[in-house]
Structure 1
Amino acid sequence: MSGIEVTRQTEIHNLYNNHHRWLRAWIRSRFDCSETAADLAQDTFIRILQKETIPQPQSPRPYLSSIARNLLIDLFRRRSIERAYLDTLALQPEAVHISPEARHTIIETLVQIDSLLDDMGERPREVFLLAQIDGLSFVAISRRLGISVNTVRKHFIRAMSQCLLLVGDD
């Protein structure tokens, strides 16, 4: 192991020892579940381990809380998607049995789609959803949104390009 790697491990070890308890309490104050707070605190340090750099010694708590806040947002978003999926599933006329593995895969896919849609920007996302979910034509979308068909086409192409890039990454 190189000297740089040893130094990095020492810095991360010190960061963990000095701030893990504080971070866990910080998360616990925002999310009333000690197990989830412990998991998110660990996930925060895992994110740090995956990064090239670690925070400067003078500001570790804002850095840690920023990562943890993003993880909390991801958790809330995931739970919201899961709840919507389960509500939709409950409305089905016939009881549908889905294995836990299939359910996990479906929810992970929905989370990825939600993230992709969130990254699109408001107008491309709206055009994409109207075309793909509502089945509207470009002309109908144009009328509904009060924009030209050419603009609808450009937004749709931008949205589809992002989808294709995501598929290409897998």
Structure 2
Amino acid sequence: MVDIYQTLAIIAILLFLKVILHKIIKRVAQLSDIDKMRTKLIIKYINGTLIMLGTIAISFTWGADFKELGLFLSSAFAIIGVALFAQWSILSNITAGVVLFFSFPFKIGDRIRIQDKDFPTEALIEDIKAFHIHLRTDDGELITYPNNLLLQKGVSLISKRNEDDEKSH
């Protein structure tokens, strides 16, 4: 019976954390004028993390042995690690997407210059996705630029989007 109460307490705590984190993320998105689709994506990442934490916590509550759970998790991570070894950039782009959500000073509609000696780029930000950013050059060329490179390269703001044009649409 104690296990049921502990499980209910864990679920209640996770639901409380979910509500609080969702409010914080939505508030940050509102204050920073971040696109709703990006906000939903970050909320999806938070939900997945909370589900994993909840599963682990409930497993311990119901008597899962740490050694057995450790063996299972290490085996699972070894398989996932081998499977994703060639795709490490996917994980780094997802992580960069989360970092950019909270700290990227540029918005959709801004004109930026990426300081890359091999591939200098000046373009308009059309969209910011989980893995990459869409940039439109003056020639009309669409460039898909990985999020993790935005964290590695210098980015200069050329011009902000025209907020008056945005409001009239």
TM normalised by structure 2 equals 0.25
TM normalised by structure 1 equals 0.25
Higher helix share: 1
